[in-house]
Structure 1
Amino acid sequence: MEKLHLYLIDPEVSILLKEIAELIILAGHATNLCHVYSETRHNTLMQCLCLLGVQSEHAAATAEDGCSMQSDSHKVKLWIQGLKIFFGTVLPEERRACAHIFGCNSMVEKDCFTRATTGCTKQLFVVGSAIAQAKDQDYEKVPLILEMYEELAEHQPSLQDQLFDDANDMISEEASMLLGKLGEAALGLLLDFLSLQLKHDLDEKTALDGNILSLTQFVMGFAKVLAEYNGSLNLILALREKEAEDGTKRTAMSPWEWYVLRLLSHLQLRVVEKSKFYKDERLRYIFLMNNAMYVLEHSHSSVLRMSLRENQTHEKFVLLVEEYATAYLRATWFPALFHLKVTELKEAKELKENFKKFNSALEEISKVQTTWKVPNPQLRQHLRIIILNQAVPAYRSYIGRFHTFIDKYVKYTPDDIENIVLDLFEG
């Protein structure tokens, strides 16, 4: 960018051009001067766009095949980079050069600058419009469209300051139209994304260990990236109806907060739907708990955290984690510990049989659930603690009361029980 700024027009050449321009204008050939200068500079600025990766054939290709550019994020990034450099560096430098060379005649200065730059500016908008109108469903490109939207919105005021008269009105209108197209493109993808009709099925590893669904990871990553554009999203999402799907007014909720709320609600429904794959209800609860915890764990960006807390969604997912943890305990450990529950004095044979059933249940838990995965270390530790608080006291009490009957069946000490529990959920 430094070289581009320094050598757009060489300073020494600019001094010479100023002297020549003054003589030609005095000689009455201002019209011819404007024509030759603006055509030459237009070609040079188009070469700048070409060097920046924004070329006319890209727009033509996009017009013929709506997915060709949108499917190539690299070209989108080139457009963003081209916009930044062209509006932030090239146009101001060209304006400065025209002011220096044609300072003796403001009409010539305006005419030369307008002719030289209008076509190039339109070219940027044509390519940007082609990107906005591309009809694919690559949701990962929404942040790129939003960045295009924000960059154009940021440069629009300075662009208006640099242009003159009719050119200003025309370019400003085209910039506004492009902003609208980009907003509509982003809105369409965002609303379509809410359905979460994505190909994120349970892979073999997740199916075996109850780990986090790839859809949950994708959605939370997507939401975290989008949160950086919350200001623009509030403007874009406001284009839709002002009422939520259930018909209730969203007066206390920003459009972005409404979107996050609906997105997480739909995600939870999909996770519950996927959980039906598990035949073992114990693993199903581990799967549900892991996914709810992942939402909490990855909602720490300031905007997401604020949105979740203000709409009580954060508390909802906290309760979900606890609900699924309790359901897991009831499905796994309550049946095992039931064998250690004695409400009245029983025969020795029955005490021994119950103890053997507990040992068998413990061994099955140890064998199966060490392969299950709880990736969040705090949740894993919390789960182990509540299991130990239930299992170890009950076990100690049982062998303490009936040791004379079951001594030869005692395979595990309380410390062994603790070690077994501490080995669970490592995957």
Structure 2
Amino acid sequence: MEEEKNLTDKNAGETPRSPMVNAVETDPKPIGETAETEERVTEDVDGGVEILPESESPPPSIEKVSEDIDEFLVSFDQKEKEKESITGFVDRFLDLVEEKLTKYDIEGKPKWGEIVEEDGLFIESVNRISKLMKFLSNQMENSITIPDSDADGVKETKDLLVNRIGLIQQRAMSYLEEDFRFLLEEFRNNPNENQNEVDHKGKQVASESQEPDHEKVEESDLGFPGYTDDAIVNLNKVAGVMICGGYQSECFQVYMISRRNAFEESLQKLGFEKISIDEMQRVQWEILARDIVPAWINTFKQCAAVYFSGEKKLAEAVFVDQPNVAAGLFSNLSRGVVIQLLNFAEGAAMTKRAGEKLFKFLDMYETLRDVIPKLDELFPEECVEELKTEMTLAKSRLGEAAISIFCDLENSIKSETAKTPVPGGAVHPLTRYIMNYLNIAGDYKETLEQVFKEHSKIERADSTSRPHHENDENIVAAGVGGGGGGDGGNNKNVSPFAAQVMRVMELLDTSLEGKAKLYKDIALSNFFMMNNGRYILQKIKGSSEMAQLMGDSWCRKRSSELRTYHKIYQRETWNRVVACLTHEKLNVNGKVQKPVLKERFKSFNALFDEIHRTQSTWVVKDEQLQSELRVSISAVVIPAYRSFLGRFAQYLDPGRQTEKYVKYQADDIETYIEELFDGKPHQSIARRKT
């Protein structure tokens, strides 16, 4: 008895919790038994429970007793002086609820929704028990008179009644908890749940008949998280009863576990895999770039556009009467997902720097950049600043990594020190790599501009890949158009990114000039510079962003340099061929000198044959440049040869002498010129003639 009093005193003002694991094992005797209300509990032959009233009056129904409970709870204060002892109908109500719970223990409780009337009756009963518990705990000491008892008896009777209600409530709440869990998890089997499918590369799978991406997001928003209106109404009812009965912690725990598991399933459907920072350092970048990073990007976008808003609406609907609770549950759930995604971003930024990682880093950077402004409308005010700080930090690390990688292009150029010239004066692999890299970078121009502007100051002063500043004299001289107008050297508009691009271009030009000197043939050396220069110019012009960044002045300067290389090439080759067709010293005193004429034809044939044999192995992959070169050569050589042949071929003796010295007709020259620059060695023209 003393222990019971201590327990009661300790829990005064709180919702009692029974220390007993299974309330069925206790069989507290109803308080205030009378001849009219006393009932016996016996076991039938089937193991069930039978209530045997001793009187002949019909057994009370739970509906009728519930009405008595409701009337009592409503009218107690007004009828305090007229009230009778309440233990009779309270005990009858508790007996009936216990009977129902015992039946559930033996037969199993029907799942929610199988018997709608059963669901409603059970909810109402649990709600009345909770109200009774609160009412009796707070009011009985001063408001209830139980006759024929002394003070100690009143205290003991009250304690036993409250404890009995607490035990019944605990049993009922355990079933209600299962109902709540069932309702939360039932949606997973909903065949109508159809989130955006992805190809695990961060892109939605789409057919020609499908609608644009933004409309798909709207459809997904309507479908997520997949609960019907009726399910949400039921969830709200169950949650309300659990919270009202003081079982809010159990309710919240079930909700969090269920929704966390559902969120994990959603992330898996999007292709995102959990991977620690340590594991990320060991995974091959090809795997990360091909599968994991695109899935991360898609997951983050879907979370921001669909999942977070869906989860927020669900929490607000289930806990509509407790907005602070809804906000707290949503914050805890979504924050865990966000931190998990941000850990991946930071882990990626910590991997070893390599050029092929830049654009994936920029994709991730853009994802974070675009999500951060939406945080205010997605998350409660109390957690927005924390998430903004975390996201901004992850974005900064990606930005720093991107700058380091881009600036490392300088080292890529400097470290290329091969002493063997590229065969045929072709475009150097270094040129292709750098220009293709810059061409792709053009697609990220705005992002790179932002990254260099916001994060380049973070680079250490002693960094080997530190961005160069806009006051670089070489950049000013080159006339880089920081805004796209070709300002001819107005360095005030040169952005840090534009300055860095120009620095890369300068180093590439210097490297190519050194490689051109590896060719002993002056013509081939200039051909190499023309070939590579043309490739560079076409790549810049092929990207509107890069063309805007470099400016018109830079493009005009580059075009002028290409014309110079072309002139020197032509002077060292085809001008020498045409020089063989000069009329000088052919006509002496009005008479054509045949020995000189024969030597001219012979020199032309030999030189043309040699150039054709050599330059047919030279390489021009740019079809437009290849065509332009052939046209320019034909324009120089063919008219001169046709004129020379038409004027002097008649002075050669017909027959063997003509065949010996006049090896080509004008049409033959044109055909052979068309064989130049395809990188394929052709059989000597002389051998074809024999």
If the length of structure 2 is used for normalisation, what is the TM-score? 0.56
The one-character-per-residue Cα deviations of 1:326-364 (angstroms, maximum 9, x if unpaired) are 121111112222222344456543342233112100111
Is 1:128 the equivalent of 2:345?
Answer: yes
Instruction: Give the Cα separation in 1 of the matches to 2:254 and 2:278.
Output: 28
Identity of aligned residues (%): 26
Instruction: Give the Cα separation in 1 of the matches to 2:418 and 2:672.
Output: 28
Whether the 8 Å contact between 1:22 and 1:102 is mirrored in structure 2 is: yes
The alignment partner of 1:375 has SS state of coil
Is 1:143 the equivalent of 2:359?
Answer: yes
- Give, in angstroms, the shift of residue 109 of structure 1: 0.7
Residue matched to 1:79? 296
List aligned pairs for 1:218-237, cutoff 5 A: 218-237=433-452
Is 1:304 the equivalent of 2:546?
Answer: yes
The alignment partner of 2:267 has SS state of helix
The one-character-per-residue Cα deviations of 1:384-418 (angstroms, maximum 9, x if unpaired) are 23222322333244345544655632222223222
Residue matched to 2:517? 276
Which structure ranks higher in relative contact order (CA pairs < 8 Å, sequence separation ≥ 6)? 1
Instruction: Give the Cα separation in 2 of the matches to 1:33 and 1:245.
Output: 65
Residue matched to 1:111? 328
List aligned pairs for 1:348-363, cutoff 5 A: 348-363=594-609
Residue matched to 2:676? 424
Instruction: Give the Cα separation in 1 of the matches to 2:419 and 2:264.
Output: 49
Q: Partner letter of residue 374 of structure 2? A: S
Instruction: Give the Cα separation in 1 of the matches to 2:334 and 2:632.
Output: 70
List aligned pairs for 1:20-419, cutoff 5 A: 20-62=238-280, 65=281, 68=284, 72-74=288-290, 75-137=292-354, 139-197=355-413, 207-238=422-453, 239-240=455-456, 242-246=469-473, 250-298=491-539, 299-310=541-552, 312-344=553-585, 345=587, 348-403=594-649, 406=652, 408=657, 409-419=661-671
Which has the larger displacement, 91-100 or 265-274? 265-274
- Give, in angstroms, the shift of residue 272 of structure 1: 2.8
- Give, in angstroms, the shift of residue 372 of structure 1: 2.4
Which has the larger displacement, 330-339 or 2-11? 2-11
Instruction: Give the Cα separation in 1 of the matches to 2:502 and 2:663.
Output: 51
Q: Partner letter of residue 266 of structure 2? A: C
- Give, in angstroms, the shift of residue 252 of structure 1: 1.9
Q: Partner letter of residue 251 of structure 1? A: K
Instruction: Give the Cα separation in 2 of the matches to 1:177 and 1:214.
Output: 37
The one-character-per-residue Cα deviations of 1:274-309 (angstroms, maximum 9, x if unpaired) are 333433333333332222222232332221222233
- Give, in angstroms, the shift of residue 152 of structure 1: 1.1
Q: Partner letter of residue 289 of structure 2? A: S
Cα RMSD for the two superposed structures: 2.9
Q: Partner letter of residue 627 of structure 2? A: Q
Which has the larger displacement, 397-406 or 182-191? 397-406
Instruction: Give the Cα separation in 1 of the matches to 2:545 and 2:472.
Output: 23
Instruction: Give the Cα separation in 2 of the matches to 1:360 and 1:304.
Output: 46
Instruction: Give the Cα separation in 2 of the matches to 1:244 and 1:131.
Output: 33
Instruction: Give the Cα separation in 2 of the matches to 1:19 and 1:389.
Output: 90
The one-character-per-residue Cα deviations of 1:162-220 (angstroms, maximum 9, x if unpaired) are 1123321111100111111111010110111133349889999x944333223322222
Instruction: Give the Cα separation in 2 of the matches to 1:406 and 1:289.
Output: 41
The alignment partner of 2:353 has SS state of coil
Residue matched to 2:144? none
The one-character-per-residue Cα deviations of 1:204-248 (angstroms, maximum 9, x if unpaired) are 9x9443332233222222222221221111111123364344486
Instruction: Give the Cα separation in 2 of the matches to 1:191 and 1:37.
Output: 49
Which ranges of structure 2 fall in alignment gaps of 5 or more residues? 1-192, 197-219, 457-467, 477-489, 680-690
Whether the 8 Å contact between 2:224 and 2:306 is mirrored in structure 1 is: no
- C-alpha distance 396-330 of structure 1, shift in aligned 2 (>3 A): same
Whether the 8 Å contact between 1:67 and 1:135 is mirrored in structure 2 is: no
- C-alpha distance 127-350 of structure 1, shift in aligned 2 (>3 A): same
The alignment partner of 1:212 has SS state of coil
Larger radius of gyration: 2
The alignment partner of 2:373 has SS state of helix
Whether the 8 Å contact between 2:516 and 2:529 is mirrored in structure 1 is: yes
Q: Partner letter of residue 243 of structure 1? A: E
- C-alpha distance 203-277 of structure 1, shift in aligned 2 (>3 A): closer
- C-alpha distance 393-3 of structure 1, shift in aligned 2 (>3 A): closer
Whether the 8 Å contact between 1:355 and 1:406 is mirrored in structure 2 is: no
Whether the 8 Å contact between 1:339 and 1:354 is mirrored in structure 2 is: yes
Residue matched to 2:85? none
Whether the 8 Å contact between 1:201 and 1:214 is mirrored in structure 2 is: no
How many residue pairs match? The answer is: 422
Whether the 8 Å contact between 1:54 and 1:124 is mirrored in structure 2 is: no
- C-alpha distance 329-69 of structure 1, shift in aligned 2 (>3 A): closer
Instruction: Give the Cα separation in 2 of the matches to 1:315 and 1:199.
Output: 30
- C-alpha distance 44-200 of structure 1, shift in aligned 2 (>3 A): farther
If the length of structure 1 is used for normalisation, what is the TM-score? 0.88
Instruction: Give the Cα separation in 2 of the matches to 1:273 and 1:72.
Output: 38
Whether the 8 Å contact between 1:187 and 1:236 is mirrored in structure 2 is: yes
- Give, in angstroms, the shift of residue 148 of structure 1: 0.7
Q: Partner letter of residue 156 of structure 1? A: I
The alignment partner of 2:493 has SS state of coil
Instruction: Give the Cα separation in 1 of the matches to 2:264 and 2:551.
Output: 50
- C-alpha distance 23-69 of structure 1, shift in aligned 2 (>3 A): farther
Q: Partner letter of residue 361 of structure 1? A: L
- C-alpha distance 289-202 of structure 1, shift in aligned 2 (>3 A): farther
Which has the larger displacement, 192-201 or 141-150? 192-201
Q: Partner letter of residue 340 of structure 1? A: L
Instruction: Give the Cα separation in 2 of the matches to 1:88 and 1:410.
Output: 78
Which has the larger displacement, 329-338 or 373-382? 373-382
Whether the 8 Å contact between 2:275 and 2:344 is mirrored in structure 1 is: no
Whether the 8 Å contact between 2:422 and 2:428 is mirrored in structure 1 is: no
Q: Partner letter of residue 393 of structure 2? A: M
Which has the larger displacement, 261-270 or 195-204? 195-204
Q: Partner letter of residue 609 of structure 2? A: E
List aligned pairs for 1:9-20, cutoff 5 A: 9-11=226-228, 12-20=230-238
Instruction: Give the Cα separation in 1 of the matches to 2:572 and 2:276.
Output: 59
Whether the 8 Å contact between 2:419 and 2:518 is mirrored in structure 1 is: no
Instruction: Give the Cα separation in 2 of the matches to 1:212 and 1:349.
Output: 44
The alignment partner of 1:155 has SS state of helix
Instruction: Give the Cα separation in 1 of the matches to 2:233 and 2:617.
Output: 77
